[in-house]
Amino acid sequence: MSALLLYNQPSPQFDARQAQAIALLKRVAEAHGPLTQASSLGAEDMVVTHLVHLAGIESGVFVLDTGKLHTETLALIGKIEQRYSRSVEVYRPRNESVIKFVRQHGEEAMYQNVALRKQCCDIRKMEPLARALAGKGGWITGLRREQSSDRAAVPDVVQEAERIKVNPLADWTWGDVWHFIARHQLDHNALHDRFFPSIGCVPCTRAIAVGEDFRAGRWWWESSDLKECGLHVQPATTSLPPSETSPA
Ligand code: SF4
């Protein structure tokens, strides 16, 4: 089933949201650069990459290649590089950490308990993320409030300990995301056509059934309040009003 046919249903606010997202990116780039975009290569992040292009701002884009990504996901790296004539930075976990962890706990450690799953995420995602964000004034994500109850309060901009985090799609609907993909003829992850709305690592992502929550296919064996890998869980943060994203 084509995700484009299924989900392309813009909200009445679509045009305004697109304009606001571009304006936000411009303001933040001027006040908080250098910026970089964290891309999971899912639908939202393909939209964000194109919004950055439309905004005409300077921003890197990086992917955390955990060593467990789907081939459908990895295939999008070359497509981004071709379309925008730019390189995508790929950060991988440290070999020695992965080998040690797998030797101790096995390839399927994530299913054993939450602590081991989080340890796997720390090694394969969090440590590479720290390298990707080093020296950056801000990072851009595709987080949306609609994605889960944990994300219902996602702000447009948040001041983290060391940098700013920008969520230009915070108020977008899933239908807005797919309308943007259709309107701008963006590539999308083929897994979306197979009922994977939220895409992560192979062992930790499955398709969802009709009526299931958006993120039901992520770490589905855990209770729903634990379903974050750490990338978007920051203990000391302050939401910023729009005026404070402007240059001083
Ligand atoms: S999502 Fe799964 S495979 Fe990927 S890093 Fe986390 S626990 Fe490991």
Model pTM above 0.75: yes
Query: Is residue 200 one of the residues assigned to a domain?
Result: yes
Query: Is residue 247 one of the residues assigned to a domain?
Result: no
Q: Whole domain around residue 185: which residue ranges?
A: 3-90+135-238
- pLDDT tens digits in sequence order for the chain, 248 residues long: 799 999 999 999 999 999 999 999 999 999 998 999 999 999 999 999 999 999 999 999 999 999 999 999 999 999 999 999 999 999 999 999 999 999 999 999 999 999 999 999 999 999 999 999 999 999 999 999 998 888 889 999 999 999 999 999 999 999 999 999 999 999 999 999 999 988 999 999 999 888 888 778 888 888 766 666 767 765 445 666 554 454 33
The domain that holds 42 is classified in CATH as: 3.40.50.620
For ligand 1, pick from 229, 231, 233 the residue to mutate: most ligand atoms within 8 Å of CB.
229
Query: Is residue 119 one of the residues assigned to a domain?
Result: no
* Ligand 1 atom 6, closest CA: 121
Total domains, the chain: 1
Residue type, 153: A
For ligand 1, residues with CB inside 6 Å are: 66, 68, 110, 117, 120-121, 124-125, 200-201, 203-204, 229
Alpha-carbon distance 93 to 125, whole Å?
7
CB-side neighbour CA atoms (13 Å) of 97: 15
Alpha-carbon distance 211 to 188, whole Å?
23
Query: Is residue 142 one of the residues assigned to a domain?
Result: yes
Contact 14, 44 (CB under 8 A): no
- pLDDT given for residue 221 in this prediction: 84
